[in-house]
Amino acid sequence: MQPQQLSAANDTALTVETDDGVLFAIDIGVTLYFTGSQHQAKREAILSIFRDYLDLVGDQLTWTTNPQTGRWKKLQGWDSYITPFDWLPSYGRGEWEFTYHGGKRRTDASFYGFSVLGVHVDEMHPHLSSMQCYFPIDFFIDREEKLPALLQRWCEALAPEHGYAGLALNRAYSHHHRDQAQLLEYRYAQRFPGLQINDPSGHRLNLARGPKGVDWLTVLNDGWLEKLGGREAVRKQMGALPMLDYSDGAILRAGPMPQLGDNDNPETLAALQDYRRVAAIIEPVRIKDHQGIHRRYTPSMAHEPRLDKENYRAWLARF
């Protein structure tokens, strides 16, 4: 597979498909990392964000997970099965999670999806909880509330540690074709600098030590802003680039719209200059020692490149 092998339902809906379903979808992704998942206020904040998401795209969701077993359940409408509003408010201590997506098959990558993992942490394991959601890349074009304002409102509610939003490569919900999927993901990472490449489980283990890097929208709480000299010092460095405040932090916006870039077409890379500017600002706190996100290939593909530790750290430093 090559990165240019994309199919499009229209000129903005990009997918990579196999005989077994949709392997990747390129969409607008939002990721927030937070602490306090055992506190009622944080759970209520997640539910308020999820309600917002449902108000926007709820009729597009087709699959969810059983909150006890994690098994997939086909929906006949988003509320045709037990919802987090039914069980999360009274859930006891411990790890909790839920996932929804809009794929045709239960494993399909989709332009619609919402997932949360609330981890139970202690001083020996300072892991972060995470929330992710996805939208088609043209979703906000004709909407009155654009993504920056929506994210600002969500950050006000959740008070995340950090996060980001922009163009993302959304994976399938399965390990089918793992070797081929890893190789294709590696090629996308090398070709399109503006495309976010995620590994939620690995990030939760690593990102308590620092934010992952920049995106079109980069979220930093006051703790990270203070390490960069404080809000006003960061605002001064941002210059004409917007900085959206919320009670516990700010969102750094790298230009008027998300950018993909293309290393095979150098003319497109000039559009990423605002990403580079924001990257230079947050470089002192960006995590430098993240582990790799790809497993070893099977022997028949052992010679192929992957996002191992060295390559993923280089990718994190791409700006």
pLDDT of 137-159, one tens digit each? 999 999 999 999 999 999 999 99
Give the phi and the psi of residue 164 in degrees, each rounded to 5.
-165, 165
Looking at residue 277, its pLDDT comes to 97
What token pair was written down for 148?
Answer: 């920056």
Region for residue 43 given its phi and psi (left: phi exceeds 0; alpha: psi -120 to 50; beta: otherwise): alpha
Check whether 5 has a pLDDT greater than 50.
no
H or E element: which one contains 276? helix 273-282
pLDDT digits (tens, 9 = 90+) for 223-246: 999 999 999 999 999 999 999 999
Looking at residue 61, its pLDDT comes to 96
Full residue range of the structural domain in which residue 260 is found: 14-316
Please indicate, yes or no, if residue 295 is contained in any of the structural domains.
yes
Please indicate, yes or no, if residue 9 is contained in any of the structural domains.
no
| Distances, alpha carbon 284 to alpha carbons 83, 180, 187, 203, 209, in Å | 41, 35, 28, 18, 12
Please indicate, yes or no, if residue 218 is contained in any of the structural domains.
yes
Scored b (16 or more CB within 10 A) or e, 230-245 reads ebeebbebbeebebbe
| Distances, alpha carbon 201 to alpha carbons 33, 166, 204, 294, in Å | 12, 19, 5, 12
Please indicate, yes or no, if residue 277 is contained in any of the structural domains.
yes
Please indicate, yes or no, if residue 4 is contained in any of the structural domains.
no
Nearest CA to 98 out of 77, 73, 76 is that of: 73
Check whether 8 has a pLDDT greater than 60.
no
pLDDT digits (tens, 9 = 90+) for 21-61: 888 999 999 999 999 999 999 999 999 999 999 999 989 99
Whole-prediction pTM: 0.92
Q: How many domains does the chain have?
A: 1
For residue 235, give the 3-state DSSP assignment: helix
